[in-house]
A = this chain, B = another copy of it.
Amino acid sequence: MATDAGPVLDIVRLRRSCASCGLQQLCLPAAIAGDDLRRLDDIVQSKRPIDRAQTLFLPGTPFHALYVVRSGSFKTFVTNEQGETQILGFHLPGEILGLDAISAERHQCTAEALERATVCEVPFSRLSHIAQQVPDLQRQLLRVISREVMRDHEHLVMMGRRHAQERLAIFLKSLSERYGRIKRDPALLTLPMSRYELANYLGLVVETVSRLFTRFQQMGVLEVRRKNVRILDFAKLEALCAEQHEGSGAVAREA
């Protein structure tokens, strides 16, 4: 279980050792080992639990560290002048926050805990210092950012789909896959975000999302009880990801 987060006691236990962390393969230490791993380990600090609705960083905050989700979950979002927000992502254990801050050396978005969560803090200057001496870490760092780009591209593809139904289906499918990766039952989703947040992420309104959940339930694809969603029929879900459409999809030129 990734969401162990007991009382304050285990801060000490949380700290120490990427080596023993279940998320290792997904995280920066992947592909490095032994002595190098210890050096990375040394700079990683773990912070005390972040409560629901608390933020890890805000736009404009000077960038000095990357954060890896250890337990719990986060959302990242930007807010414009009119106070409208766009949620950029939901982040599960093993995922890295703050990558978009490297360029400007300031955070570009807000990261907020959706539930009580813990993170590892990786001071960036020290990280890149070590990366310079450990080529594997260097490559892994680039890989991790590149993966972030891939993630955003998937989000983009989803937003491009004009039918709400497909968007939600794609989201659920992809969330299920992510659950699999962190060794949780891919059929049993516990959505850490509110319907509002989910709707915003998908570029829809709450009511639409709500109606879709009921519809999916009626179709026998899901069993929904508030935040608890069980996927009953993966094949149907898969099918829902790619219904109807030809509108803006196929670009005219190529037949």
Contacts and interface: CB of A to CB of B under 8 A. Distances in A.
In the complex this chain forms, how many copies of it are found? 2
A85 B253 CA distance: 12
Interface string A78-111: 1011111111100000000001111110001100
A135 B86 CA distance: 35
A156 B88 contact: yes
A108 B246 CA distance: 22
A171 to B, nearest CB: 14
A83 B143 contact: no
Contact of A162 (B82, B103, B138, B203): B203
Interface stretch (A177-185, A194-202, A229-237): A194-202
Interface residues of A, number: 64
Contacts of A148: 149
Given A108-B153, A109-B153, 7 more contacts: A87-B251, A100-B146, A102-B142, A132-B138, A152-B152, A160-B200, A200-B251
A157 interface: yes
A250 B146 CA distance: 30
